[in-house]
């Protein structure tokens, strides 16, 4: 029973876990799965469809926090 603020449910194509997105997703938006940290991208909104983000394979720097 939350009035107004809806979270949108998505299914990670990598680990298959459901998670909710707080913001309103847009096509092309990049999302990181909170369960497996897969880089995902929104490719459809109705229904919400996620696909693996097509990142540069070279770009594997994960701990870049400078
Ligand atoms: Zn996942």
Q: What is the pLDDT of residues 1-58, one digit of tens each?
A: 555 667 889 999 999 999 998 888 999 999 999 999 999 999 999 889 999 997 665 6
User: What pLDDT, in 10s, does the model give residues 24-39?
Assistant: 899 999 999 999 999 9
H/E/C letters for each residue in the chain? Answer: CCCCCCCEEEECCCCCCEEEECCCCCCCCEEECCCCCCEEEEEEECCEEEEECCCCCCCCCCCCCC
Contact 36, 17 (CB under 8 A): yes
Neighbours of ion ligand 1 (CB under 5 A): 12, 14-15, 33, 35-36, 38
Write down the pLDDT at residue 6: 75
Fold held by 8-52:
Rubrerythrin, domain 2 (2.20.28)
45/36 Cα distance (integer angstroms): 22
CA 11 to ligand 1 centroid distance, Å:
8
Note if the pTM is more than 0.85. no
């Amino acid at each position: 029973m939350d009035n107004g603020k809806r979270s949108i449910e998505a299914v990670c194509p990598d680990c298959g876990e459901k998670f909710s997105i707080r913001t309103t997703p847009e096509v092309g938006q990049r999302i990181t799965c909170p369960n497996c940290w897969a880089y995902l991208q929104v490719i459809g909104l109705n229904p919400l469809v996620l696909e693996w983000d097509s990142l540069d394979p070279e770009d594997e720097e994960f701990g870049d926090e400078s």
